[in-house]
Structure 1
Amino acid sequence: MDPFKRVFQLTIVYLQLVVLFPREVCDMRFIAFGDWGGLPDPPYVTIVQKATANEMGRVAQSTGTDFIINVGDNFYYRGVNDVNDFRFKETFENIFTAPSLTNIPWYILAGNHDHLGNVSAQVAYSVVSKRWNFPNLYYELDFKVPNISVSVTILMIDTVVICGNTYEANQPYGPENPQLAREQLQWIQEKLAHSRSDYLIVAGHYPVWSIGQHGPTPCLVAQLRPLLKQYNVTAYISGHDHSLQFIREGEGIAYIVSGSGSFVDSSTINKEKVPSDWLRFYNAEISALGGFVLIRITAEQMFASYRQPYGMVVFQTALPRRTF
């Protein structure tokens, strides 16, 4: 069976995943970031990527981070050719080398640049690497946190299948296979409708809302946003724009943009397309050298802490547990 047509559900009974950095199990912590795909030519890595990787390693060790959520554009500029492509080593394995990052799972999505190459090779790399988990173009993660009886669901989706690729344009052209796009949207709706998790998160590459270079993705505003609102999703995490942003629709859905893994873009060209009272934080200073978001989930709240190299915590916020 074509692996792209299979739907995987990864059900994880949350134990103490990071045995190197034990702590009382009363919460869950993960890093969300994207657009970390380095360069296609030597040295295959950017200064921003190295600085971000170093800070991720430090934060993961000090906080006992349990896993990584990656939202795509893993290999610039045209993905990889096959499962033996040297870019897996030069842009990933040789960069994210801290023990705190090599001993925890990474959950992977594909971005628009990955789709220009062989995405099936990135899926197949899950067999090669013990930490690289990419079972399908879209899949479900379910976690149970013991001691506090908290459940967390993360839907990892492929927004390029839903909306199409950009091919150097600012916005995607439309799905290349409308049937596959419809199938994924139906899957998303069914998963959201049946979820009774205390925290419900959706992660994809393209942003729904963004004030950066690409701005809001009209395809997702029209097709995904209504589902996020209808089913009381806690947060939508994305990348694509190379900045850190926090946008929230009043007291509703939070939109976390974390796309500073390899490059930083200071553009705010689409600021007028997002209501001013929704934009709570934006940071894309070139001197910041990248960044990521540390998520901590407790019995009462989900905390988002925006981190940048050299120990900078530039923004923090909290989101409530879902109610039914």
Structure 2
Amino acid sequence: MAFYILCVMFAAVSVAHCFPAAFQDLEFGSTNRTSIKFLAVGDWGGVPYPPYITAVQKATAREMSKIAEQMGADFILALGDNFYYKGVDSVDSPRFQTTFETVYTSKSLRVPWYVLAGNHDHAGSVKAQIEYSRKSERWRFPSYYYELNFRIPNTGKTLTIIMLDTVMLCGNSNDYADEKPRGPLRAVDANRQLVWLQERLARSKADFLLVAGHYPVWSVSEHGPTDCLLQRLRPLLNKYKATAYLCGHDHNLQYIQESGVGYVVSGAGNFLDPDIRHWKHVPKGTVKFFTGQASTLGGFVHAEVTKNQMILTFLQAKGTSLYRTVLSQRELNE
């Protein structure tokens, strides 16, 4: 059963200008809760013509509903490419209804959706998506990049999730030409985000520290590793002992373990791609799981963060789990 986070209505206020958010004391329907649970799905954004959704999105939404009810989901991380192919043009765009509100309708999915922007979102107005937070009870997108902090109930442990705008950091990419990001549109904005990120990572004492963005650091699929993130983000993840990095962009499910950090690609919310052209472009032996087969019907990740560990389960839309792994809490040198 999913439990709704009552205090998140106040969370957006504290992070709207990228300021650090205070740790939230979560209120659940049960007082014996000892974990936080969430779903992570990327590249879920339908299509810009009727019926505005795909068969994969519909199947994935249906399975997300079941898993959220059975395993629990306190919130959902939306990892970018929220609206194909050119985002939205205004806060009043009908796409918010046709591709989001009328697709993820079950009670178990009526929890906060913490949103970040992908390259297709940047082809439209990301500002309009941020503004939609004022119109939706569950759409939480306070700023281009922001921080979420939670207390894990009844454990004394904490979870931090840092939501990034990797397009602002690295530049946009043209999928149709299979281009890599060639550099940020505005270097000053990219550097400001990077400085903010380093400050947040350096200051974090969270027992579990997650970073999320749209572009992958490591990927074996069509887009492959993102050079900009390998150079600018990966050293920070290693230095500050991040638990995991979550992303989308490639339309499949991947788990890569490298230098103590778990790299999660969850980009199977709307399309599927079995491409593994970059298999040899990641360190040998680091790929622990991959699927992009059409037979899965779509997919997403379920995460449970407990007192001592984080359990990741990769699920396919046709109704079974495909892979599970466990990550330990951070060991910080005081």
TM-score by length of 2: 0.92
Counterparts of 1:93 and 1:272 in 2: how far apart (Å)?
40
| Match of residue 303 from structure 1 | 311
| Match of residue 5 from structure 2 | none
Instruction: Please tell me whether residue 165 in structure 1 is matched to residue 176 in structure 2.
Output: no
Post-superposition Cα deviations, 1:76-100, rounded to whole Å, max 9, x if no partner, equal: 0000010010000000001000101
The residue type equivalent to 1:124 in the other structure is E
| Superposition deviation, residue 5 in structure 1 | 9.2
Counterparts of 2:161 and 2:86 in 1: how far apart (Å)?
27
Q: Percent identity?
A: 48
| Match of residue 42 from structure 2 | 34
| Match of residue 22 from structure 2 | 11
Match of 2:215 among 191, 202, 206: 206
| Superposition deviation, residue 280 in structure 1 | 0.4
Q: What are structure 2's unaligned runs of at least 5 residues? A: 1-14
Whether the 8 Å CA contact 1:77–1:113 is kept in 2: the answer is yes
Instruction: Please tell me whether residue 55 in structure 1 is matched to residue 66 in structure 2.
Output: no
Residues 81 and 13 (structure 1), Cα distance of their counterparts in 2 relative to 1, 3 Å cut: same
Instruction: Please tell me whether residue 82 in structure 1 is matched to residue 93 in structure 2.
Output: no
| Superposition deviation, residue 62 in structure 1 | 1.0
| Superposition deviation, residue 287 in structure 1 | 1.1
| Superposition deviation, residue 7 in structure 1 | 1.5
Counterparts of 1:215 and 1:44 in 2: how far apart (Å)?
28
Instruction: Please tell me whether residue 45 in structure 1 is matched to residue 53 in structure 2.
Output: yes
Residues 163 and 72 (structure 1), Cα distance of their counterparts in 2 relative to 1, 3 Å cut: same
Whether the 8 Å CA contact 2:63–2:319 is kept in 1: the answer is yes
| Match of residue 25 from structure 1 | 33
Aligned pairs, number: 316
Match of 2:229 among 204, 220, 232: 220
Counterparts of 1:292 and 1:97 in 2: how far apart (Å)?
17
Whether the 8 Å CA contact 1:199–1:321 is kept in 2: the answer is yes
Q: Report SS of the residue matched to 1:11.
A: coil
Counterparts of 2:330 and 2:73 in 1: how far apart (Å)?
23
| Superposition deviation, residue 63 in structure 1 | 1.7
| Match of residue 280 from structure 1 | 288
| Superposition deviation, residue 13 in structure 1 | 2.4
Instruction: Please tell me whether residue 108 in structure 1 is matched to residue 115 in structure 2.
Output: yes
Whether the 8 Å CA contact 1:109–1:156 is kept in 2: the answer is yes
Counterparts of 2:70 and 2:25 in 1: how far apart (Å)?
19
Counterparts of 1:72 and 1:171 in 2: how far apart (Å)?
17
| Higher alpha-carbon deviation: 204-213 or 276-285 | 276-285
Post-superposition Cα deviations, 1:275-312, rounded to whole Å, max 9, x if no partner, equal: 23100000111111110000001111100000112321
Counterparts of 2:83 and 2:21 in 1: how far apart (Å)?
25
Match of 1:323 among 307, 331, 334: 331
Counterparts of 1:143 and 1:271 in 2: how far apart (Å)?
35
The residue type equivalent to 2:170 in the other structure is C
Counterparts of 2:192 and 2:114 in 1: how far apart (Å)?
22
| Match of residue 241 from structure 1 | 250
Q: Report SS of the residue matched to 1:55.
A: helix
Post-superposition Cα deviations, 1:79-124, rounded to whole Å, max 9, x if no partner, equal: 001001000000000100010111x111000000000001100000
TM-score by length of 1: 0.95
The residue type equivalent to 2:251 in the other structure is H
| Match of residue 6 from structure 2 | none
| Match of residue 190 from structure 1 | 199
Counterparts of 1:23 and 1:260 in 2: how far apart (Å)?
34
Residues 226 and 31 (structure 1), Cα distance of their counterparts in 2 relative to 1, 3 Å cut: same
| Match of residue 268 from structure 2 | 260
Instruction: Please tell me whether residue 72 in structure 1 is matched to residue 84 in structure 2.
Output: no
| Match of residue 98 from structure 1 | 106
The residue type equivalent to 1:210 in the other structure is S
Q: What are structure 1's unaligned runs of at least 5 residues? A: none
RMSD, aligned CA? 1.4
Whether the 8 Å CA contact 2:147–2:160 is kept in 1: the answer is yes
Counterparts of 2:239 and 2:72 in 1: how far apart (Å)?
34
| Match of residue 4 from structure 2 | none
| Superposition deviation, residue 15 in structure 1 | 2.4
The residue type equivalent to 1:225 in the other structure is R
